[in-house]
Structure 1
Amino acid sequence: MKHRRSIELAPPEGFAVEEKQTLATLPQWFVVHARCGVCGYQSLLERRGIARRCGLDLSLARLAGRLK
């Protein structure tokens, strides 16, 4: 997805979440969001809140599994 000013908002093609990537290893400018597989609803996730509750060492793959 591109922003109206041609800023890339989504990760590049082929970008894959690896088990070793955590909230701490993500660049500060990354935006984390969740999308419902059924209805397609999307919501931004507050990284600081997740890090406070679950810790910075939580992997992105495990975070994805915990979303409801």
Structure 2
Amino acid sequence: MCLLCDDEKAYAAYMNYLDAMERQGEVVDPTKAIDAVLDGLQAADRARRDAPENDKTLSPFFCSPVNK
């Protein structure tokens, strides 16, 4: 649990995951729950960084697509 205590966002995601599993009536192994939550947070972070509008290496003259 020490991995999650320093990161408020990760801890909240972990508790929400446990609550969701309990509502479904499933018994959750805490180690597997931590792995699932951290994998989800890492995937979301990669997706956010891979978005073209977040790429800080692009030239200011690069035409980014307009999000509507």
Structure 1-normalised TM-score?
0.29
Q: Which has the higher contact order (CA 8 A, sep 6+)?
A: 1
Name whichever structure is richer in helix by fraction. Answer: 2
Structure 2-normalised TM-score?
0.29
